[in-house]
Amino acid sequence: MRSFVRREGRITRAQEQALAELWPIYGIASDIEPLDLSRLFGREAPVVMELGFGNGETLVQLAAAEPQCDFLGVEVYRPGVGRLLRRVRELGLLNVRVFCDDAVDVLTDRISRKSLTKLLIFFPDPWPKSRHHKRRLIQPAFARLARDRLITGGTLHVATDWEDYALHILDVLRLTPGLRNLDPDNGFVPRPGYRPVTKFESRGQVLGHRVWDLLFERAE
C-alpha cells in the first residue's frame, strides 16, 4: 500500500535541465544495498533526513543553516526534485543528497539501523477520506521502522495541518516502544525554531489554520 499517488504534473524546462545536469552530482540511484553515509558525504557528521520534501523549500533552508550536518531528501515527484537541485546549486550547498523514490523503500533498503540524527516528515498527505486512511504514511509498522533508523537520542519530527491526522499520529507514536514524547504533557510541542514556516503554512495561518508538531526521541 503506497502513501502517495504519482501525479507528476508539469515539469519546467529549468527543472528538466537541473535533473539532467545535477542528478549525477546530488542524486542517489535506486538500489537495495544500505548506504555508507560517511562515504556518500565524504565526512562523519550528523545526518538529517526529510521524507516528502515537496519543492525543497524547507530542506535547503535547513541545510544552509546547519552546514555541520548532512541532509538526505526523499521525494517521488520529479518537478520537486528538479526545483530542489536548482536551489542546491544556486546556494552552493555541499551537504545535500537526494532520492527520487518511495520513502518506505528508502528507509527499509538504503538506510542502516541507528544512522539518522533526525527524521523529518512535514505535512504528509493526510488522505482525509475515511476509506483512504489506510494509505496514511504514519502507521505502527512505519513508526517502528523510523525508530530503528534513528540513533539513540535521535528525534522524529512530524508536522501536519490536519487535526484528525495529528491525533492519529500522536496515538501511533505514543504506542511505539522505544519512542519518547518530548512534550512534557505527552501531547504536541510548539513549533521548534529550526523548522521553517513554509509559504503554504503562512497562507494557512492567515486563514486561521493550525499546525500540530510532534517531536519524539528514540529512547534506547
- What pTM was computed for the model? 0.93
φ, ψ at 120 (rounded to 5°): -110, 130
pLDDT at 11 (0 to 100): 86
Q: Which three cell numbers stand for residue 205?
A: 495561518
Instruction: Give the model confidence (pLDDT) of 60-99 as tens digits.
Output: 999 999 999 999 999 999 999 999 999 999 999 999 999 9
| Whether 183 is catalytic | no
For 30, phi then psi, to 5°, come to -65, 140
Q: How confident is the model at residue 24 (pLDDT cuts 50, 70, 90)?
A: very high
Q: Is the pLDDT of residue 44 over 70?
A: yes
Write the single-letter amino acid at 97: R
| Active-site entry in 105, 125, 148, 161 | 125
Question: Is the distance from CB of 121 to CB of 137 less than 8 angstroms?
Answer: yes
Q: Is the dihedral of CA 53, 125, 78, 55 positive or negative?
A: negative
Please provide residue 89's backbone torsions phi and psi, each rounded to the nearest 5 degrees: -65, -45
Structural domains of the chain ordered from first start: 25-30+38-218 (3.40.50.150)
Q: How far is CA 65 from the centre of its chain?
A: 17
